[in-house]
Amino acid sequence: MVVIVLGVVLGAWALQQQASLPHALPLTLAWCVLLALNVGARWYLRRHGLWISKYPRLITASKRGYWFVIAVLFGFTWASVLATYRLADALPSAWEQKNITLIGVVASLPEYTEHGQRFVFDVEQVLTPQAQVPKHISLSIYPPYPSRTATTKSVESTPQASVGARWQWTVRLKRPHGVINPHGFDFEAWALSERIRATGAVRLKSDMRKLSTRVNHPRYWVDYARAKVASRITDVLADKPYAGVIRALVIGDDSQISRADWDVYMRTGTNHLMSISGLHITMLSGLIFALTYWLWRRYTRLLLRLPARKAAAVAGMIAALLYAALAGFSIPTQRTLYMLMTVTVMLWLDRPINMPKMLAIALLVVVVMDPWAVNAAGFWLSFGAVAVIAYAMGGRIGRPHWLIEAVKVQWVVTLGLLPLLVAMFGQFSLISPIANAFAIPVISFLVVPAAILGSLLPIDLSLQLSHAILSVTMAGLNWLSAMPLATWQQAAPSIWTLLLAMFGVIWWLLPRGVPMRWLGTVCMLPLFSPHANGLHAGDLRVTVLDVGQGLSVFVQTAQHTMLYDAGTRYDAQSDAGMRIVIPFLRAEGVGKLSGVALSHDDLDHSGGIASVVGQVPTAWLLSSLSPQASLLQQPPFDTWPQQKKITCHAGQHWQWDQVRFEVLYPTIEQLQNITHKDNDKSCVIKITSRYGAVLLTGDIERGAESALIESAAERLNSDVLIVPHHGSKTSSTPAFIEAVGAQHVVMTNGYLNRFGHPKPVIEQRYLNHDAHIYRSDHDGAVQFAFQANQPMTVTPWRKVFPRYWHDRYP
């Protein structure tokens, strides 16, 4: 059975790697071939089966191989069918950014940010004639911008979404579209798995009407309960620092956990504890099981009616079901539920609990119900943890002391998941075993039960006690997190080192007495080998990251690295530096930056810079900002010596590994000119290698372009140009385009951004000069490599690594 389930998982995973969904004809032919093989094999065995009957192992292996292939094809076909139906429920491109009036129901707890609120909306009726809207969309409500037209009355009239409320409002929608970067998060894959087929915002100036405060439908009953529990937690713990963590532990909503706390959890390897997970459900179910078992055995009449073990199994299952409901039946909780259901059924049927079979059943149910689960890191980590425990702890002779067994389980999970953690996140916590040793029992047996009790019953003291215990736990985690060697970070490993390390873990976890277990350690060593960037003196690699409406460029020579801008800030807790740039740098094995250049102070260029410099050691900052700029007075720059904060001006130059860097603009006089806009003070840098040149321009406009042509016309010529100001009409004059003469130009802009960048007239200007245009919203991140003995290579990430859920662009 295990082999069959693995085949189904492999088939579903293979489908998720496809650039397009397969046609029905090849799949039908594949099934016909397998059927013909089956019929042919049976016919042959009847006629000529005497000789092969002497080889029973060959027959068994052939059957297993055949059924494995069947399972792979089933997983692939089933995932393809579900994907076809889900993709069919799409927003037509013609209706993007158009006013559409809808009636529907708020289908999730609203998530509040400093910019407004976001929630899932079930569409019941489309009132706009001929408009086509998916049934499941994500909407945001933004309050009016402070202006002369935004009165106090208009701000107060901003609707407050509540789960289960039926509304009529006018919206503007987009197809799901996210940034695409090397080693980055794929929002479009996540949206598909969550059935979100469009995103958009409510038009506040439209006619909004609340048609019903609460729709009485079973689909929303669970969320009604979750909303009440969330409200109670907020009322009791409103001013407490870890109220967001309690909320996450009780209802699975981690949106209110601060970024600083998440960093602590990641560094200590306890992030899996700070929201409802399979561990919490299992622990709570086990606690209720033990309590019911103990009480049931005290009453003879109850024992005569039903064995204590069966009664306890039902009670534990009910507790798990209720707790999973509080989490909104998220994917991680569903996996645990399926495993616990299997255990309950086995106990009721008086069957021995077979861990591999139990895991296989849960795995099969999850993948059949949700083939997109294989795209989630949590899928592999949660099932991987259980599989490693079953492999390392099952079938051993003797029963050690419970404390020794608990320590061994923690050690086994830490070691067993290490290759996956390195591959998925580029880091793992060195102090995780210590942190989890005290955090798991405290959170699972004290914090969670007290929090649930205080949330479901009017016992404020229970919630307050839960928070107090959590605060003490956090003090310990903060202390551990502050240790200098709390985490190990490295580049994303190659596939062969990952597979070798996984084999090494399997070999190392064999029982004591198996010869040559030390080979497991040897197999794991290549996983931690230093990362070589493949560049030599004179080589240059430039990656224009996809940060939406903003800019971030990573420059790499043989021994040095530089970051030019770091994208925008989304809110107080999140920015492009944190979400996009830092994960990219870690996966590339960049432990420190030789320098950071900041073109100017606009938020879409500088918003993520503090996060990057705060996490990645940086030698210096080159910028056009004045020394008194607010950004330079904030962490981490406020503690920097002045010599590390360099003002960018024309004439500066340096050389790294035979690659020349030269600042072309602005001059000191232009920096000091108070009539110049910030855009026209952007730091313009030309990078010249033996094999090609790149021009970084920030947001310069016509005036700066004219000044550049006047002062540095002979030095502007480049192979690659980062188009000024995202393709705005205020930049890219014909004279500047001709002076640069770039063969490849990159326009960094967000999908259907409110500025309308890039402007069609600007795109046409570059096309008139025979330039190849790359757009971040169409191509994702774009990487240019200048190396010896080969022409310049260009890698547009969205087109080189497509997936069937990605939209296609010319």
Q: Tens digits of per-residue pLDDT, 239-274? A: 899 999 999 999 988 888 988 899 999 999 988 888
Q: Are strands 166-174 and 116-126 parallel, antiparallel or unpaired?
A: unpaired
pLDDT at residue number 732: 97
- What residues pair up with 598 in beta bridges, in sequence order? 623
Angle at 383 between CA 377 and CA 385, to 5 degrees: 95
pLDDT at residue number 194: 92
Give the integer Cα–Cα distance in Å for 664 and 695.
Answer: 10
Query: Which one-letter DSSP state was computed for residue 533?
Result: -
Residue 156 has pLDDT above 60, yes or no: no
Number of Cβ within 10 Å of residue 338's Cβ equals 18
pLDDT at residue number 427: 85
Give the integer Cα–Cα distance in Å for 283 and 444.
Answer: 6
Q: Are 599 and 698 in contact (CB under 8 A)?
A: yes
Which residue reads 């040095």 in tokens? 560
Give residues with Cβ within 8 angstroms of 242, minimum separation 6. 261, 467, 470, 471, 474
pLDDT at residue number 217: 87
Mean pLDDT in residue range 693-707: 97
Residue 735 has pLDDT above 70, yes or no: yes
Q: Are 674 and 694 in contact (CB under 8 A)?
A: no
What is the phi/psi pair of residue 322, to 5°?
-65, -40
Residue 475 in tokens: 């003090």
Residue 542 has pLDDT above 80, yes or no: yes
Query: Which of 109-118, 473-482, 692-701 has the lowest average pLDDT?
Result: 109-118
Residue 145 confidence class, pLDDT cut points 50, 70, 90: low
Mean pLDDT in residue range 585-591: 93
Amino acid at site 532: A
List pLDDT tens digits, range 67-95: 999 999 999 999 999 999 999 999 999 99
Burial readout 298-315 (b: 16 or more C-beta within 10 A, e: otherwise): eeeeeeeeebbebbbbbb
Q: Are 600 and 683 in contact (CB under 8 A)?
A: yes
Q: Is 356 helix (H, G, I), strand (E, B) or coil?
A: helix
Helical H segments across 144-258, by residue range: 152-156, 187-193, 218-236, 243-251
Give the integer Cα–Cα distance in Å for 39 and 33.
Answer: 10
pLDDT at residue number 147: 44
Residue 583 in tokens: 């994960």
Amino acid at site 516: M
- The beta-strand segments (E) located in 593-737 are 595-598, 621-623, 645-647, 653-656, 659-665, 684-689, 692-696, 720-722
List pLDDT tens digits, range 767-783: 999 999 999 999 999 99
Cα–chain center distance at 689 = 35
Residue 153 has pLDDT above 60, yes or no: no
Residue 396 confidence class, pLDDT cut points 50, 70, 90: low
pLDDT at residue number 50: 59
Residue of 617, 106, 1 whose CA lies nearest to 364: 1
Distances (CA, A) of 388 to 408, 505, 506: 12, 9, 8
Q: Are 258 and 245 in contact (CB under 8 A)?
A: no
Helical H segments across 579-634, by residue range: 582-587, 603-606, 609-615
Cα–chain center distance at 517 = 36
C-alpha dihedral sign at 589, 593, 599, 604: positive
Quote the crossing angle between the two packed helices 2-16 and 56-88, to the nearest 10°.
40
* Secondary structure element (H or E) that encloses residue 303, with its range: helix 300-305
Number of Cβ within 10 Å of residue 541's Cβ equals 21
Q: Which residue has the higher pLDDT, 703 or 331?
A: 703
Residue 431 has, within 13 A of its CA and on its CB side, a CA count of 22
Give the integer Cα–Cα distance in Å for 663 and 540.
Answer: 17
Which residue reads 């009616």 in tokens? 305
- What residues pair up with 794 in beta bridges, in sequence order? 784
What is the phi/psi pair of residue 660, to 5°?
-95, 135
Mean pLDDT in residue range 158-175: 93
Helical H segments across 485-541, by residue range: 495-508, 518-524
Q: Are 242 and 474 in contact (CB under 8 A)?
A: yes
Query: Which of 34-38, 181-185, 663-667 has the lowest average pLDDT?
Result: 34-38
- What residues pair up with 112 in beta bridges, in sequence order? 117
Residue 111 has pLDDT above 50, yes or no: yes
- Would you state the torsion angle of the CA atoms of residues 417, 420, 424, 429, taken in this order, to the nearest 10 degrees? 30
Query: Which of 53-57, 118-122, 549-553 has the lowest average pLDDT?
Result: 53-57
Residue 208 in tokens: 């909004």
Residue 302 has pLDDT above 90, yes or no: no
Q: Is 426 helix (H, G, I), strand (E, B) or coil?
A: coil
pLDDT at residue number 428: 87
Give the integer Cα–Cα distance in Å for 407 and 391.
Answer: 16
760 cis-preceded (ω within 30 degrees of 0): no
- Which conformational region is residue 782 in: left (phi greater than 0), alpha (psi within -120 to 50 degrees), or beta? beta
Give the integer Cα–Cα distance in Å for 669 and 597.
Answer: 20
Residue 157 has pLDDT above 70, yes or no: no
List pLDDT tens digits, range 589-627: 999 999 999 999 999 999 999 999 999 999 999 999 998
Mean pLDDT in residue range 330-343: 81
Give the integer Cα–Cα distance in Å for 321 and 327.
Answer: 10
pTM of the model: 0.91
Between the two ends of the chain, the Cα-to-Cα distance in Å is 46
Number of Cβ within 10 Å of residue 661's Cβ equals 21
Residue 716 in tokens: 């502007």
Number of Cβ within 10 Å of residue 182's Cβ equals 19
Give the integer Cα–Cα distance in Å for 167 and 512.
Answer: 64
Distances (CA, A) of 363 to 335, 357, 655, 771: 7, 10, 54, 50
Q: Considering the chain, what is the average pLDDT of its residues?
A: 90
Radius of gyration of the chain (CA): 30
Number of Cβ within 10 Å of residue 99's Cβ equals 13
Residue of 603, 609, 569 whose CA lies nearest to 585: 609
Residue 554 in tokens: 């990573």
pLDDT-above-70 percentage for the chain: 96
Residue 146 has pLDDT above 70, yes or no: no
- Length of the chain in residues, anyone? 810
Query: Which one-letter DSSP state was computed for residue 540?
Result: E
- Would you state the torsion angle of the CA atoms of residues 466, 469, 475, 477, taken in this order, to the nearest 10 degrees? -80
pLDDT-above-90 percentage for the chain: 65
